[in-house]
Homo-oligomer: A and B are copies of this chain.
């Protein structure tokens, strides 16, 4: 499927980015632009047109959920190394639609209360209601990423979680949620450039955290943990997409595209009136 509004795709981006059997993260070029035949200016044009299409889909999805039992929702799961651009996706892709239809959740280091529960407890509470586009800025995958790399839980607990995630996500999909799982993939060189910028610009200091360098030092371990995530949890109904993200314009456009596809699949229509239009018109005229 190719979103109608985005003119410069030359290939099926979802197919190109999908982590399927045999996928190797090490083979992905973070600077590539798979399936896109245009430059940055073309991408800007596509992004603007896509934003309009996304907005209309979002409104239809929301509208239908208000007056019918349609259970459909979309959940965008964003995972990435620091500086890869999760925030930019939220700002520039998700930010283009009506905030009234968006349910955004940023998952930080778990609180003691959260840690006392199963790792999916805090996730469950933030799932998007029917009609909403949910966005997870980090997610339950942290519990098999930093959780694994930093050994925050015993190995057998980490092992258990892959299966628990698959069960959980199957339930979500069966309940009407389209899952769009995205890893924004940057190169260590690009991360270095972006961290340098944060140290060069006083208006970026607040985004810099010395702890980021500690995680950066574990780059190979994180890539291995991501590779395992893809092998264990990229399923037919809840696949992972690995989006090259060294070029921000590509990453934003590709994620917008994946969202458009999810909404095309749902194809929500304006709901019919759940009242008698003519009778209401008469009441209104008389009022």
Contacts and interface: CB of A to CB of B under 8 A. Distances in A.
A7 to B, nearest CB: 25
Q: Give the secondary structure class of A's interface.
A: helix
A266 B84 CA distance: 31
Contacts of A90: 98-100
Interface string A193-223: 0011001001101111110010011000000
B99 A199 contact: no
A41 interface: no
A196 B277 CA distance: 10
A163 interface: no
A90 B101 CA distance: 11
Interface stretch (A16-24, A59-67, A229-237, A245-253): A59-67
A175 interface: no
A104 to B, nearest CB: 6
A272 interface: yes
Interface string A92-110: 0011001110101010000
Contacts of A210: 275, 280, 283
A171 interface: no
A217 to B, nearest CB: 7
B206 A287 contact: no
A97 to B, nearest CB: 8
A270 interface: yes
A199 B94 CA distance: 30
Interface string A46-64: 0000000000000000011
A206 B99 contact: no
15 contacts: A90-B99, A91-B98, A91-B100, A95-B99, A99-B104, A100-B104, A100-B137, A192-B284, A192-B287, A196-B281, A199-B281, A202-B272, A205-B273, A205-B274, A208-B273
Interface of A: 63-64, 66-67, 87, 90-91, 94-95, 98-100, 102, 104, 106, 137, 192, 195-196, 199, 202-203, 205-210, 213, 216-217, 270-275, 277, 280-281, 283-284, 287
Given A63-B207, A95-B95, A213-B284, 4 more contacts: A192-B284, A195-B284, A202-B273, A208-B273
